[in-house]
Amino acid sequence: MIQIVTTKSGAMISILIITSLLTWIVVRANTSPNKDRPAKELYGTYCITCHGRDGRSQTNKGKYSHARDLTDAAWQEDVSEERIYNSIMNGRNLRGNMPAFKDKLTEKEADSLVGFVREFRK
C-alpha cells in the first residue's frame, strides 16, 4: 500500500528509501553471477595458486597438493574434455586434493576453463 506523505521530512525519507532501493537494484544487476568471466581471469582467480602461471604445478601449494601438471603431453592426450570439466566442477581426490568449483563457476565458465587448460598442450 502506498501512503501519501504530507510532511517535508516524510517526503525526504520516502525519496531516500526509493533512491537507496534503486541503487541497490542497479549495483546487484551489475555484479550478477550471470555475467560470465573470461577463462584467463578465472584461471588467475581459482587455478593459478596450485597449477601456476605456466600450468606446470610447481608452486608450493601445487607441489604439496600434488596438483596435475597441465602441460603433461601424455595426460593432455589421454584426458577428455568431460573429465576436465567434471574435475573443475566436482573436484578431484584421487591423485591430489582439488576442490570443487561448482558453487563459484557457471557451466559456461567451466567450459571456457576446459579450453584454457587445453591451451597448455605442448
Q: For the CA atoms of 40, 44, 50, 53, what is the dihedral angle to 10 degrees?
A: 70
pLDDT of residue 115: 97
CA distance 3 to 45: 48
**Structural domain boundaries in the chain:** 1-32, 39-118
pLDDT in tens, 78-121: 999 999 999 999 999 877 789 999 999 999 999 999 999 999 98
CATH topology for 39-118 is: Cytochrome Bc1 Complex; Chain D, domain 2 (1.10.760)
pLDDT in tens, 33-68: 568 999 999 999 999 999 999 999 999 999 999 999
DSSP state, residue 103: T
Global pTM value: 0.70
Residue count of the chain: 122
